[in-house]
């Protein structure tokens, strides 16, 4: 999807370390998920944005595919701070430092 196609859509960008702890959290993420940056960066796992029952299956699968192929992309159900759920397109890519994966960047676009 091009930037023009995404205009007017809610877009979130979140990075995490290898343990899944949020390292950066865009303004769009705060708007979309309802958490303030201070509440999540360095404190929360990206698992808080997913249905608990989906974490066990989805997260290992998306991390494996992102690491092996460079990109995971799929429509998934997310959870806001208030518990409401919504569907969005999730794209996850590995973050490299000195040739090694040090974390992941997830980009979420509401469909």
**In tens digits, what is the pLDDT along the chain, a chain of 111 residues?**
334 344 556 899 999 999 999 999 999 999 999 999 999 999 999 999 999 988 989 989 999 999 999 999 999 999 999 999 999 999 999 999 999 999 999 999 998
DSSP lists the bridge partners of residue 103 as 17, 95
Question: Which superfamily does 16-110 belong to?
Answer: PAS domain (3.30.450.20)
Model pTM score:
0.89
| Token duo for residue 94 | 């590995």
């Amino acid at each position: 999807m091009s930037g023009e196609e995404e205009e007017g859509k809610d877009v979130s960008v979140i990075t995490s370390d290898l343990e899944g702890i949020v390292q950066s959290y865009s303004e769009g993420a705060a708007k979309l998920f309802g958490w303030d940056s201070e509440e999540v960066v360095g404190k929360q796992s990206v698992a808080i944005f997913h249905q608990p029952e989906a974490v066990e299956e989805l997260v290992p699968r998306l991390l494996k595919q992102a690491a092996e192929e460079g990109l995971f992309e799929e429509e998934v159900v997310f959870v806001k701070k208030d518990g409401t759920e919504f569907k969005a397109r999730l794209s996850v890519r590995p973050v490299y430092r000195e040739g090694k994966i040090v974390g992941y960047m997830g980009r979420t676009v509401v469909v």
